[in-house]
Amino acid sequence: MPYFKVVKNPAATLQRLNKSEYIATSIIPRSVFIAIIIGSILNLVNQYDSVFGSKPFNVVFFTLLYFTPFFVVLISQHLSLLKALENSENGHAFNKHRNVFATAFFHSIPLKAFLVSLGVGSINLVVLSIQHSLSSDELWVISSNQVIQTYILPMVFGLLSQALSYNRAIKEFAK
C-alpha cells in the first residue's frame, strides 16, 4: 500500500481516506505555482548579477530556491489538512479564527511551521555547505541574509500556507 494516494476531490474524499494515505491533487499544483513565484523572486534578488550581469550562475543555489518553497508548501498544506481532518472528526470543524493571521497562531501551526523550516533549512544548509566546500578551499561563513532565507522565510511561508490551507479545509468540511 503506497504511503501517499493522489485524490481528485480533496473536500469529498479527504474524510473517507486514512489520514496518512493521501496528497490531494490541489496541493501539488499549488505548491508548484507558489514555488515558481517565490523561487523566481528569490533568484532575481540573490543572483541578479548572474542573471543580468557577468557573475557565474550557481545552479545548486538556483535549484534550492525553487525546491525549498515547493517542499515547505507541500508539507505545510499536508499537515494543515491532517489537522483540519482531525478537528472535523472531533467535532471542532467550526473555525472561530476567520482571519488567516489569527488562524496562524493556533492549531499547533507555529510549532509545525518551525519544525518544517528547521528540517528544510538544515537540508539546504548542508547542501550549500557541501557545494561551497567542493568549489572553494575557503571557510564558508554564513551571512545573516542566508540564515533568513534558510530558516526564517520557510517558517513564514509555512505558517501562512498552513493557516490558509487549514481555513480552506475547515470551510469545505463545514459544507
Identify the pLDDT of residue 119: 93
Tell me the average pLDDT across 55-63.
85
Distance CA 30, CA 17 (A): 21
Pick the closest to residue 30 from 63, 64, 62, 73 (CA basis): 73
Is 57 in a helix, a strand, or coil?
coil
Distance CA 23, CA 28 (A): 8
Identify the pLDDT of residue 20: 43
Distance CA 69, CA 158 (A): 9
Distance CA 143, CA 139 (A): 13
Pick the closest to residue 171 from 109, 100, 65 (CA basis): 100
Q: What pTM, to 2 d.p., does this model score?
A: 0.78
Q: When comparing pLDDT for 138 and 42, which is higher?
A: 42
User: Domain boundaries in the chain?
Assistant: 6-174
Q: Which residues contact 152 (CB under 8 A, 6 or more apart)?
A: 117
Q: Which residues contact 20 (CB under 8 A, 6 or more apart)?
A: 3, 82
Distance CA 142, CA 136 (A): 14
Q: What does the pLDDT look like over 102-139, one tens digit per residue?
A: 888 888 889 999 999 999 999 988 888 887 777 776 76
